[in-house]
């Protein structure tokens, strides 16, 4: 099979390389200077099937079962939201807070509400060796993926995943509470790109009529689980910052700050529990 032929079918040399690597068990180094790769009949059949799936709109990440986030690979499936580059802004905000609050040498407890693949909490645990974390989700299938990712990154001893509807089964207090909750308005979901609406779980997308339902449920309960001086960090839609900021202000948080995504749009809000 010629790499160029796959690239023409997919209109992407990068996607062609990703599929070929996955099917044939190759590395980037194996493909350097190579255009033609010998495949077994079984491998060719798998590749043909994957190409057809991609042409039907299925994301590469869902086909190969892996997506990169913050420089690391995470297992994904149709049961979890794909990690996205904009969510790295949330990671940066938490790391900056931990550094500025002189907690780098202290034990840190982190709670991730609606953990999905676990990419957020697990990335923070890798970056903060003195931290332990709890991730919650209402999906058993999502928690299974999160546990696989914890094992993949050697974090099973520091990460716990529990089934919980937001704070329902959460106990204890935390230094950081973070969440990337569903925030798409229900009526907008049918208008999303097929790669999102058809292959990401609806539970991870639908934020209710105004997209703010999860925030309205989470924010009134945060202070019960957040230590004084602790930080809440929440991702949101690009046009929701002002409305969510007012919800945060209503709960009496201090030092509310907006953080911009790669496109310069407000994407993450952080606040401190005083």
Task: Tell me the per-residue pLDDT of 171-187, one tens digit each, with 9 for 90 and over.
Answer: 999 999 999 999 999 99
Please state at what angle helix 41-55 crosses helix 13-24, rounded to 10 degrees: 140
- Decide: 160 and 130 in contact? Cβ < 8 Å: no
Task: Tell me the per-residue pLDDT of 85-144, one tens digit each, with 9 for 90 and over.
Answer: 999 999 999 999 999 887 666 799 999 999 999 999 999 999 999 999 999 999 999 999
If you average pLDDT over every residue of the chain, what do you get?
A: 94
Instruction: Map out the domains of the chain with their CATH numbers.
Output: 3-56 (no CATH), 71-272 (3.40.50.150)
* Per-residue pLDDT band at 38 (split at 50, 70, 90): confident
Q: CA angle 99-102-108, nearest 5°?
A: 80
> Which whole number is the average pLDDT over 71-82?
97
According to DSSP, the residues that pair with 260 across neighbouring strands are 266
Which three-class secondary structure string do you get for 15-83?
HHHHHHHHHHCCCHHHHCCCCECCCCHHHHHHHHHHHHHHHCCCCHHHHHCEEEECCEEEECCCCCCCC
Does pTM top 0.75 for this prediction? yes
CA distance 72 to 145: 15
Provide the percentage of residues in the chain whose pLDDT is more than 90. Answer: 84
The Cβ of residue 269 has, within 10 Å, a number of other Cβ atoms equal to: 24
Cα atoms in the 13 Å half-sphere on the side-chain side of 33: 1
Task: Tell me the per-residue pLDDT of 182-233, one tens digit each, with 9 for 90 and over.
Answer: 999 999 999 999 999 999 999 999 999 999 999 999 999 999 999 999 999 9
Range with the lowest mean pLDDT among 24-33, 39-48, 225-234? 24-33
Report strand pairing: 159-163 vs 254-260. unpaired
* Per-residue pLDDT band at 7 (split at 50, 70, 90): confident
- Decide: 112 and 133 in contact? Cβ < 8 Å: yes
* Per-residue pLDDT band at 36 (split at 50, 70, 90): confident
């Amino acid at each position: 099979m010629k790499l160029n032929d796959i690239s023409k079918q997919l209109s992407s040399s990068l996607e062609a390389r990703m599929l070929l690597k996955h099917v044939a068990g190759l590395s980037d180094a194996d493909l350097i200077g190579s255009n033609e790769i010998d495949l077994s009949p079984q491998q060719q059949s798998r590749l043909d099937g994957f190409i057809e799936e991609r042409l039907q709109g299925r994301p590469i990440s869902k086909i190969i079962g892996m997506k990169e986030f913050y420089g690391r690979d995470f297992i994904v499936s149709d049961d979890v939201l794909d990690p996205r580059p904009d969510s790295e802004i949330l990671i940066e905000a938490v790391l900056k807070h931990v550094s500025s609050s002189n907690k780098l040498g202290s034990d840190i407890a982190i709670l991730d509400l609606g953990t999905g693949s676990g990419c957020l909490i697990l990335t923070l645990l890798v970056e903060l060796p003195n931290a332990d974390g709890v991730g919650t989700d209402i999906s058993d299938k999502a928690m299974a993926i999160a546990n696989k990712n914890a094992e993949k990154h050697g974090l099973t001893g520091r990460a716990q995943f529990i089934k919980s509807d937001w704070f329902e089964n959460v106990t204890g207090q935390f230094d950081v509470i973070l969440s990337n909750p569903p925030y798409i308005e229900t009526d907008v979901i049918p208008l999303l790109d097929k790669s999102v609406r058809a292959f990401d779980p609806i539970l991870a997308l639908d934020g209710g009529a105004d997209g703010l339902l999860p925030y309205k449920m989470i924010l009134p309960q945060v202070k019960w689980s957040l230590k004084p001086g602790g930080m809440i960090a929440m991702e949101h839609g690009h046009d929701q910052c002002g409305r969510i900021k007012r919800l945060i202000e209503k709960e009496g948080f201090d030092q509310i700050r907006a953080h911009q995504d790669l496109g310069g749009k407000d994407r993450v809000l952080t606040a401190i529990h005083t």
